[in-house]
């Protein structure tokens, strides 16, 4: 068995059809979509085709899609764009304690510019209470940003409910849907959101390209200033190769989702139940049912996540760890702490994310290899001894 890749949240491989379309584009297309000559217009046609493909994936109008350089840029654009666009109207922004760093750090910057931020608590599953959002809305609130699905524990937030509340109070609502779009059905009309961020490398498109859905009439100031690209909403020459890849990836995601969803869910459930049965003192993070189908976050008591991840890597099993140890800081994951995990347990967390190529044999292999590794590390741990 080759490498078992279970870290699709960090990035998916290119879908063969995406690869094909991108290679074709690289070999046959150049030119700038803003040029009015034939070469430019050919590029423009591809750009608009991709826009329609991405729009279709989330049930938006193509004119409401702005291409960005990644999910992070999309989030920055949404949050800072509204903050600048509505700076005269108000200065308060509401968010949650479990958002992605792109949200947290965009708000950090805005704090320095005298914006105020209300950050809401979540429950043990990582769920935000829509009633708390409504309570937090003040007359000077201009934006609410709550993620659609959490990138560390997979919990799917009640975004449609929150969007309704925001609409009632005439507050703009943004959702970071980077980890959900292309994985589960996402419909901007059903959700009722004003702004939604997505990224191609979560659904078998290339890295380095994302998009922001901007509902018609939403006042969002550009993040990148310059020319008239993207209907004056995002200046800079478009990354055409990447965007073409994202378009095809969106189309493929829509086609494959009905077959993929139940299969991946079943494999994830098998992994979850298998680990639970084989490893004592293991905690499954996130909501038991309202969660992304391809993600599994487990915290294993008495051991630290990075050493477990390295041992699995030696066996050809690639997973992620949210033990902050790996990111150069020793902080435990802010998401896990927000759900009430203690620091030591949060350090022992592994994050599995399955993909369209994941097989039953691969899950069987993980279930076979992982328990003895956990035991080896536990035998080495002073905390394990004390727990006995």
Partner 1 sequence: MAYSEIVMDHFKNPRNVGEIPDADGVGEVGNPVCGDMMNVYIKVRDNVIEDVKFKTFGCGAAIAVSSMITTLAKGKTLEEAMKITNKDVAEALGGLPKNKLHCSNLGADALHAAIKNYLDRKAGKIPDLAKDREEHIKGGGAEGCYCPYCHKEALEEAPFCLFCGAEIPHEHDH
Q: Which residues bind partner 1 (CB under 8 A)?
A: 97, 104-105, 108, 111-112, 117, 119, 302-304, 306-307, 310-311, 314, 323-326, 328-334, 337, 343-344, 347, 379-383, 385-386
66: Cα separation from own chain's centroid:
18
Q: Point out the catalytic residue in the list 25, 166, 291, 325.
A: 325
User: Is 325 in the active site?
Assistant: yes
Bin 115: left if φ > 0, else alpha if -120 < ψ < 50, else beta. Answer: beta
Looking at the Cβ atoms of 29 and 369, the one nearer to partner 1 is 369
Distance in Å, CB of 303 to partner 1, minimum = 7
Looking at the Cβ atoms of 224 and 325, the one nearer to partner 1 is 325
Distance in Å, CB of 159 to partner 1, minimum = 24
177 within 8 A of 196, measured Cβ to Cβ: yes
What is the H or E stretch that residue 53 is in? helix 38-57
Partner residues linked to 276 by β-bridges: none
Bin 287: left if φ > 0, else alpha if -120 < ψ < 50, else beta. Answer: beta
316: exposed, middle or buried (Cβ count in 10 Å: 0-12, 13-18, 19+): middle
Looking at the Cβ atoms of 277 and 310, the one nearer to partner 1 is 310
Q: 376-381: which pairs have CB atoms within 8 A and are 24 or more residues apart? A: 376/311, 377/303, 377/304, 377/307, 377/308, 377/311, 378/302, 378/303, 381/302, 381/303
Looking at the Cβ atoms of 229 and 321, the one nearer to partner 1 is 321
Positions marked catalytic: 325
């Amino acid at each position: 068995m080759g490498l078992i890749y279970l870290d699709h949240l960090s990035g998916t491989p290119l879908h063969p059809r995406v690869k094909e379309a991108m290679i074709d584009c690289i070999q046959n297309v150049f030119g700038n979509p803003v040029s009015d000559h034939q070469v430019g217009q050919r590029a423009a046609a591809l750009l608009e085709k991709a826009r329609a493909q991405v729009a279709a994936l989330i049930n938006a109008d193509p004119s409401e899609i702005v291409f960005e350089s990644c999910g992070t840029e999309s989030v920055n654009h949404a949050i800072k764009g509204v903050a600048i666009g509505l700076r005269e109207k108000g200065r308060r922004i509401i968010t949650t304690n479990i958002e992605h760093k792109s949200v947290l750090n965009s708000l950090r910057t805005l704090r320095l510019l005298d914006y105020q931020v209300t950050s809401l608590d979540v429950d043990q599953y990582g769920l935000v209470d829509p009633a708390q959002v409504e309570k937090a809305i003040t007359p000077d609130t201009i934006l609410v940003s709550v993620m659609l699905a959490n990138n560390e524990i997979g919990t799917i937030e009640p975004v449609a409910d929150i969007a309704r509340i925001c609409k009632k109070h005439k507050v703009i609502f943004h959702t970071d849907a980077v980890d959900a779009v292309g994985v589960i059905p996402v419909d901007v009309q059903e959700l009722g959101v004003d702004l939604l961020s997505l990224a191609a490398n979560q659904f078998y498109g290339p890295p380095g390209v994302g998009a922001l859905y901007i509902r018609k009439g939403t006042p969002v100031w550009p993040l990148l200033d310059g020319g008239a690209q993207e209907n004056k909403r995002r200046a800079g020459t478009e990354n055409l190769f990447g965007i073409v890849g994202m378009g095809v990836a969106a189309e493929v995601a829509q086609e494959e989702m009905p077959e993929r969803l139940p299969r991946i869910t079943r494999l994830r459930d098998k992994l979850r139940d298998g680990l639970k049965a084989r490893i004592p003192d293991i905690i499954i993070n996130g909501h038991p049912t309202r969660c992304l189908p391809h993600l599994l976050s487990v915290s294993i008591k008495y051991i630290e996540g990075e050493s477990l991840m390295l041992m699995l890597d030696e066996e050809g099993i690639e997973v992620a760890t949210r033990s902050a140890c790996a990111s150069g800081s020793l902080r435990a994951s802010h998401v896990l702490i927000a759900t009430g995990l203690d620091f030591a347990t949060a350090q022992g967390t592994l994050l599995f994310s399955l993909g369209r190529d994941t097989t039953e044999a691969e899950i069987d292999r993980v279930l076979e290899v992982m328990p003895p590794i956990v035991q080896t590390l536990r035998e080495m741990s002073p905390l394990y001894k004390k727990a006995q």
